[in-house]
């Protein structure tokens, strides 16, 4: 089964396009998990219990796992998400020269999809693209303030670099497994990129903590896809969901703390579904 087929099934089952970002910043973990063997895994398990009904996908960002205990926490997290029937998109933003990138692509043995960086060109992505059953989300127009520094630069042809990346993604999509990452903080670019690639699903981060445009994220982020029975795409929120308990009225109670994450995921699902 291809990634986008799996994702379409999950979107239908959960009636949701929400990607829940699992970015368990150790400095923000609540006291309930402090004494656990692997606090990040203990935290993620409770977050998954609270949010899985509303999750089309989980997106752990590798930055929060790149140490010995972190890799163990990540492995447990991926297996647990799969046990709940939710696919996992590993946000690793990888790519490198041949032998190195082949090794990076092995990260896909456990996850269902990955984010990659197109800066080094096609050969740096090939081992990911070759995995026809896995999703490969190529950074196109990112959500951060500096996203415009390079990505908006005009090429000699007059098109901005991010448009060229979108057009190349179409060329790289021989296995129908490519998606694009386009931030919700760039709604005009979202619309432009959608015109270039009508059938490539987007991962749209930047709603929630970064204040991006949820309506534009759904309107332009979802696409018809040959493998999918419903329009597919993902709108991600990380801190806005997993740390919602910090804002709750009784954050010192574990059930209230994690319940707030579930409520936040549910609210985002409902909000996004208004525009589907
Ligand atoms: O590839 C990504 O997921 C990504 C691309 C981008 O342009 N902007 C962006 O915020 N992200 C990731 O999406 C998540 C956003 O987190 P929140 O701002 O807490 O919702 C982080 O893991 C970011 O690394």
Of 143, 211, 233, 261, which is best to mutate to test ligand 1, by the most ligand atoms within 8 angstroms of its C-beta?
Answer: 143
Q: Which residues line ligand 1 (CB under 6 A)?
A: 21, 23, 61, 91, 115, 142-144, 181, 183, 205-206, 208-210, 236-240
Q: Is 269 marked active-site?
A: no
Give the pLDDT band of residue 250 (cuts 50, 70, 90). confident
pLDDT more than 90, % of the chain: 96
Question: Please, are residues 138 and 162 in contact by the beta-carbon 8 Å criterion?
Answer: no
Please name the residue whose Cα sits nearest to atom 22 of ligand 1.
61
Q: Write out the residue range of the structural domain in which residue 231 sits.
A: 3-273
Total structural domains within the chain = 1
pTM for the model: 0.98
- Which is the catalytic residue, given 93, 134, 266, 269? 93
Q: Give the CATH number of the domain where residue 14 resides.
A: 3.20.20.70
**Ligand 1 center–CA 156 separation, angstroms:** 30
pLDDT in tens, 13-71: 999 999 999 999 999 999 999 999 999 999 999 999 999 999 999 999 999 999 999 99
């Amino acid at each position: 089964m291809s990634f986008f087929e799996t994702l379409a099934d999950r979107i239908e089952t959960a009636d949701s396009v929400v990607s829940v970002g699992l970015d368990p910043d150790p400095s923000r973990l609540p006291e309930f998990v402090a004494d656990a063997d692997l606090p990040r895994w203990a935290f993620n398990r409770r977050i998954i219990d609270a949010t899985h009904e509303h999750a089309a996908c989980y997106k752990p960002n590798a930055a929060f796992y790149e140490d010995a205990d972190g890799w163990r926490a990540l492995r447990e997290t991926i297996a647990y998400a799969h046990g709940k029937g939710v696919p996992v998109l590993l946000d690793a933003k990888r790519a490198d020269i041949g032998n190195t990138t082949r090794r990076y692509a092995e990260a896909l043995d456990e996850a269902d999809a990955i984010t990659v960086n197109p800066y080094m060109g096609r050969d740096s992505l090939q081992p990911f693209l070759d995995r026809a059953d896995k999703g490969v989300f190529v950074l196109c127009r990112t959500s951060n303030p500096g996203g415009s520094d390079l990505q908006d630069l005009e090429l000699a042809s007059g098109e901005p670099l991010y448009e060229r990346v979108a057009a190349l993604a179409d060329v790289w999509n021989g296995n129908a497994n490519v998606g694009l990452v386009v931030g919700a903080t760039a709604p005009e670019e979202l619309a432009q990129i959608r015109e270039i690639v009508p059938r490539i699903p987007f991962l749209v981060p930047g709603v929630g903590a970064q204040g991006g445009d949820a309506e534009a994220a759904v309107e332009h982020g979802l696409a018809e896809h040959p493998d999918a029975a419903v329009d597919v795409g993902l709108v991600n929120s990380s801190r806005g969901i997993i740390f919602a308990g910090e804002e709750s009225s009784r954050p010192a109670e574990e059930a209230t703390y994690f319940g707030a994450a579930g409520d936040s995921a549910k609210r985002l699902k409902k909000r996004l579904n208004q525009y589907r």
